[in-house]
Amino acid sequence: KTWKAGMRGIPNTVSDITNAIVYHVQSTLARQAYNLDNLGAYQAVALSVRDDLIVKWNETQMQYTRKQPKRAYYLSLEFLMGRTLDNALLNLGLKQQYKAATHKLGFNLEDLIDAERDAALGNGGLGRLAACYLDSGATMELPLWGYGLRYHYGLFAQHIAPDGSQLEAPDPWLDTDNPWEIPRQDVTYDVRFYGHAERIGNGKAVWTGGQEVLAVAYDVPIPGYSTNTVNNLRLWDAKPKRGFDLNSFNAGDYDRAIQENSSAETLTRVLYPNDNHMLGKELRLKQQAFWCAASLSDIIRRFKQVEKPWSEFPEYVSIQLNDTHPTIAIPELMRMLVDEEDVPWGDAWAITTKTFFYTNHTVLPEALEKWPVPLMEHVLPRHLQIIYDINMAFLQAVERKWPNDRERLARMSLIQEGEPKYVRMAFLATIGSAKVNGVAELHSHLVRETILRDFVDFFGKSKFANVTNGVTPRRWLDQCNPGLSNLITDAIQKPKAVWLKDLTLLKALEPFAEDSVFLKKWALIKHNNKKHLADYIKTHLGITVNPQSLFDIQIKRIHEYKRQSLNLLGVIHRYLTLKAMTSTERKKVNPRVVIFGGKAAPGYFMAKLLIRLIVNTARTINADADMKDILTVVFVPDYSVSLAEILIPASDISQHISTAGTEASGTSNMKFCLNGGLLLGTVDGANIEIAEEVDSNNVFFFGHLTDAVEDLRHQHKYHPIPVEERSPALAAVLKEIEEGRFGDPTIYQPFVDTIRLSDYYLVTDDFDSYVEANKMVDDAYVKDPEEWTKKTILTVSRMGKFSSDRAIMTYAEEFWNIEQFAIKF
């Protein structure tokens, strides 16, 4: 029997799978099995997995349509998905069969998995969180869809130039066929920009003219782990509405004929590479409006199928705004209801404010979105009118509550006065949503006490909640660390399909911390993961690292508030300390490998300068014979989801050392602890809750607390004291940089100056306690390796809270009011 696409449901025998792969090699790819490379084999394997996904996708969507459960939609400008094949195989429970089938065909499945490019449609934490939530939504059998943009270029690739600085290269990830998307040329919507909005009374207006762009849907199937559910991530691509302008074309003006085309297609060309820093670019505003308008049109079209009155819209639809990036969806829903569906303004506002929910991911002022009024008026004239109308009604309500409080009105207005005026998107998201949440306890507290304080006073506390972030244990334990996942399964005597869906069951590992045989097996897995990373570093960077060393890792976007600077200055301090020792003394020192990874936004001067200093410091230290096998420093270029999957399982210590109060949550802290790496961190974000869960004996905390930050900054500004007095150890480090130990000091002077002169992120204030904490790490690691291993087991066993399944169920139950909906086969 020969296999044809769509012939049967789900292949599950090895021979079915082999036939399916061969079919795709021959028919879909039009190639021969005997001269196929890994990339071709990967594509054929992926196409056959896609067939399985589509069967389940169709069934899931059909059953949703038939029963019409309430659905939730996750609007995010970023979905940092990484690779799909391995994850899909594990979630479908087909990995073993595919391993056997590819082996029969003469391939090694792991090599094929490695041939896939990352889908890097995100910058960092916020985008990866969205990807984890989709995995958990499908696994928890929730009717949850994602909506985003189909960027043709993902986050730039990072290269390191000979002088050590970051170079950016484009990421044309769609240049190789993407088997994980289904184009829907029939699912399209028109989106308008510019033009003219004419008020016609009753709060209504008519918006005409300008530019119209077509949004085309591409669907990415999202399989749940060990369920029938396959949910959907719908990504919009932009196409010109009319092929090209025939008049100009016929008149011989070819350039003009295609001008409008290329302007439309520019919309979804590239992901903006800045993370936690707002730039007021017109194209970015158009991306946001385009994606929100298309997504809402799609949601409304689906709602119309149930034939219910508009007042019941919130009984069928909840929409989560991933930060303020989709806030324009609030005036857009108002526009559709009022202008196009004839819903009275007040009713439309009642519907809108029951439908939306807003998650804040940052309190950093430079990351809060504010759009210039003139820009918004130009690009989205009707939306600006609606925002003004919302603001008017809102400020009247504020005035009723606190009469004659002009200052309060100015503080709370959606419009920031000035030249130019700005629209404050976080305020719009807050007043347009049913609930607002932060992403860890401390962060939610800061949101309530600082940026949204007036709004808490106005709306009451109950509107402002916390949902601590989580990570999917499928990708971030089972997939990236199969050795550990298998050992856990053996130990706790629960099938993976059970404990990977209820991570609190890890608790059953606790007693094994006293089992010396188990301790050895556990330590061996970590050692093997470290060897695997050492191999990667050797082949890709030519640096030898000793897997016996303590592996110390900091991987995240490069940002002043995340303080990779503190880590680097600490490394230099260690270097100076080691240099001052005799060689006999040095032999007794515990060897350490310090690994950095992360991208800097292309326009972020200080972050890029820091990368350059890290790379050149690493070169100096690694070339110093005295440091051999004692201290090695590695900057891993082009950090990505796939690289994280290699790095995280190999850590002994990971660093999460932001200035207290600046890192909203952090999610890699959770991933490291779940893989038996201990945490070295400040009392910030989710570090605090991790310590609460795993016991503060098992984390290394240092540094000033959030409460102290404001005063310290005040002191820096008004009563500056030289670094030499505040931290002689740090002063000695800065002196080495200034004397050219790591290359031309004039290059690094701006970096040294920020620390000497302003030090907004309080590196000086935390330096000594950071060095102290590092000593504690060394001592704990060297003096009693068995005790260290115990700590790591206890840590893993207590990480249950940080599953994104828990987080997504909190959103489902406490915000969206949606129910689990099992797909029956």
Which one of 562, 563, 756, 801 is the catalytic residue? 562
User: Please, what is the minimum distance in Å from the beta carbon of residue 329 to ligand 26Y?
Assistant: 16
Choose one: 235-243, 272-280, 291-299, 736-744; the region binding ligand 26Y (CB under 6 A).
272-280
- Does 425 help bind ligand 26Y (rule: CB under 6 A)? no
C-alpha 15/C-alpha 20 separation (Å) is 9
Choose one: 140-148, 457-465, 659-667, 713-721; the region binding ligand 26Y (CB under 6 A).
659-667
- Would you say 295 or 437 has its CB closer to ligand 26Y? 437
Which residue in the set 11, 40, 125, 137 belongs to the binding site for ligand 26Y (CB under 6 A)? Answer: 125
Choose one: 136-144, 154-162, 665-673, 802-810; the region binding ligand 26Y (CB under 6 A).
665-673
User: Please, what is the minimum distance in Å from the beta carbon of residue 122 to ligand 26Y?
Assistant: 8
CB 505 within 8 A of CB 489: no
Is 556 catalytic? The answer is yes
- Would you say 40 or 666 has its CB closer to ligand 26Y? 666
Q: Which two tokens stand for residue 223?
A: 């399989």
Q: What is the DSSP letter of 338?
A: I
Which amino acid, residue 736? Answer: E
- Does 560 help bind ligand 26Y (rule: CB under 6 A)? no
Pairing mode of beta strands 422-424, 415-416: antiparallel
Choose one: 270-278, 470-478, 481-489, 672-680; the region binding ligand 26Y (CB under 6 A).
270-278
C-alpha 574/C-alpha 774 separation (Å) is 10
Which one of 361, 474, 496, 573 is the catalytic residue? 361
Which residue in the set 277, 726, 735, 741 belongs to the binding site for ligand 26Y (CB under 6 A)? Answer: 277
- Would you say 552 or 663 has its CB closer to ligand 26Y? 663
Q: How many CB atoms lie within 10 A of CB 13?
A: 11
- Would you say 50 or 559 has its CB closer to ligand 26Y? 559
Preceding amide of 331 cis, omega within 30: no
CB 224 within 8 A of CB 70: no
- Does 663 help bind ligand 26Y (rule: CB under 6 A)? yes
Which one of 150, 671, 716, 806 is the catalytic residue? 671
Which one of 370, 443, 557, 559 is the catalytic residue? 557
Looking at 93-154, list the stretches that DSSP marks H as alpha helix, in order from N- to C-terminal side. 95-104, 109-114, 125-139
Which residue in the set 276, 433, 564, 567 belongs to the binding site for ligand 26Y (CB under 6 A)? Answer: 276
Which residue, among 364, 378, 383, 150, has the nearest Cα to 274 in the 3D structure? 364
E strand map for 688-775: 699-702
Is 562 catalytic? The answer is yes
C-alpha 291/C-alpha 147 separation (Å) is 8
* 714 class by beta-carbon count within 10 Å (0-12 exposed, 13-18 middle, 19+ buried): exposed
- Does 667 help bind ligand 26Y (rule: CB under 6 A)? yes
Binding residues among 26-85 for ligand 26Y as defined by CB under 6 A: none
Which residue in the set 274, 288, 318, 413 belongs to the binding site for ligand 26Y (CB under 6 A)? Answer: 274
Cα dist. 639→159, 646, 688 in Å? 10, 11, 26
- Would you say 276 or 789 has its CB closer to ligand 26Y? 276
User: Please, what is the minimum distance in Å from the beta carbon of residue 443 to ligand 26Y?
Assistant: 7
**Contact characters 127-156, ligand 26Y, x per CB under 6 A:** --x---------------------------
C-alpha 119/C-alpha 424 separation (Å) is 31
How many residues bind to ligand 26Y according to rule CB under 6 A?
A: 23
Which residue in the set 143, 681, 685, 800 belongs to the binding site for ligand 26Y (CB under 6 A)? Answer: 685
**Contact characters 348-387, ligand 26Y, x per CB under 6 A:** -------------xx----x-x------------------
Q: Which two tokens stand for residue 634?
A: 């590695």
Which one of 150, 234, 335, 556 is the catalytic residue? 556
Q: What are phi and psi of 318, to 5 degrees?
A: -125, 140
C-alpha 590/C-alpha 736 separation (Å) is 24
User: Please, what is the minimum distance in Å from the beta carbon of residue 129 to ligand 26Y?
Assistant: 4
Q: C-alpha angle with apex 506: 500 to 508, nearest 5 degrees? A: 135
- Would you say 440 or 812 has its CB closer to ligand 26Y? 440
Which residue in the set 75, 477, 664, 780 belongs to the binding site for ligand 26Y (CB under 6 A)? Answer: 664
C-alpha 387/C-alpha 385 separation (Å) is 5
- Does 214 help bind ligand 26Y (rule: CB under 6 A)? no
Radius of gyration of the chain (CA): 27
CB 561 within 8 A of CB 658: yes
- Would you say 385 or 437 has its CB closer to ligand 26Y? 437
C-alpha 150/C-alpha 174 separation (Å) is 10
- Identify the sign of the CA torsion 23, 27, 28, 30: positive
User: Please, what is the minimum distance in Å from the beta carbon of residue 236 to ligand 26Y?
Assistant: 18
- Does 275 help bind ligand 26Y (rule: CB under 6 A)? yes
Question: 482-492 and 516-541 helices cross at what angle (nearest 10)?
Answer: 170
Is 557 catalytic? The answer is yes
- Identify the sign of the CA torsion 293, 294, 299, 304: positive
- Does 273 help bind ligand 26Y (rule: CB under 6 A)? no
Binding residues among 153-182 for ligand 26Y as defined by CB under 6 A: none
Which residue, among 704, 643, 710, 649, has the nearest Cα to 677 in the 3D structure? 649
C-alpha 236/C-alpha 405 separation (Å) is 44
Question: How far does the chain reach from its first CA to its final CA, in angstroms?
Answer: 25
Which residue in the set 381, 637, 661, 666 belongs to the binding site for ligand 26Y (CB under 6 A)? Answer: 666
- Would you say 116 or 135 has its CB closer to ligand 26Y? 135
E strand map for 107-180: 119-121, 144-149, 157-160, 166-169
- Would you say 277 or 532 has its CB closer to ligand 26Y? 277
- Would you say 599 or 716 has its CB closer to ligand 26Y? 599
Is 468 catalytic? The answer is no
User: Please, what is the minimum distance in Å from the beta carbon of residue 425 to ligand 26Y?
Assistant: 9
C-alpha 509/C-alpha 488 separation (Å) is 7
| Positions marked active-site | 361, 556-557, 562, 667, 671
Which spans of this chain sit near ligand 26Y (rule: CB under 6 A)? 123-126, 129, 274-278, 323, 361-362, 367, 369, 439, 469, 663-667, 685
